[in-house]
Amino acid sequence: MDLLKWARMKSPWICHFNTGGCNACDIEVVAVLTPRFDVERFGVLLKGSPRHADVLVVTGPVTQQSEARLKRVYEQMAEPKFVLAVGVCTCSGGVFHGCYNARGGVDTVIPVDVYIGGCPPRPSEIIDGVVHVLNKIAGGGLAEKSSVNEGQAVQ
């Protein structure tokens, strides 16, 4: 394992982006960052800029308004980059599926590495997703990810 990969596994910095959800998933993501659930034990730090992040944590369905911004945020991240889809809306559109202003799941716009179902998912499930992302980092996720609509489901 090279030094960069080892360092990335020990300190995966994340950036959180809501593409148009109801905010309940966001509350669970915030809960994961608190001392109660303490995702920082894995070295996870929330960063304000995608340029500083290794993992993009997305909540909500992709709306027409957020689609271009989501693409721009993803493009601003340096390689290797990973995407964690949190909540059924992010995975497939969920309750917003078929809405006039919703595109559907995030993987219709950017590649997703790990999917977490639930509405909203429990903090323990989000932490499980983070561990899956860490496993992808360890296994060389850059080479595995090639296109949209690929990923690994976590239930």
Q: Are 132 and 86 in contact (CB under 8 A)?
A: no
82 vs 115, which CB is nearer to ligand SF4?
115
146 vs 155, which CB is nearer to ligand SF4?
155
We find the least distance from the C-beta atom of residue 78 to ligand SF4, in angstroms, to be 27
* β-pair partners for 36: none
We find the least distance from the C-beta atom of residue 76 to ligand SF4, in angstroms, to be 23
Interaction site with ligand SF4 (CB under 6 A): 21-22, 24-25, 59-60, 87-89, 94-95, 119-120
We find the least distance from the C-beta atom of residue 86 to ligand SF4, in angstroms, to be 7
Euclidean distance between CA atoms 82 and 133, whole angstroms = 7
We find the least distance from the C-beta atom of residue 47 to ligand SF4, in angstroms, to be 22
Nearest residue (beta carbon) to ligand SF4:
21
On the question of a cis peptide bond just before residue 120, with omega within 30 degrees of 0, the verdict is yes
**Closest by CA position to 17, among listed 50, 59, 71, 51:** 59
9 vs 29, which CB is nearer to ligand SF4?
29
9 vs 96, which CB is nearer to ligand SF4?
96
Give 148: exposed, middle or buried? Use CB within 10 Å, 0-12, 13-18, 19+. middle
3-state SS of the chain: helix, strand, coil percent to 5? Answer: 45, 20, 35
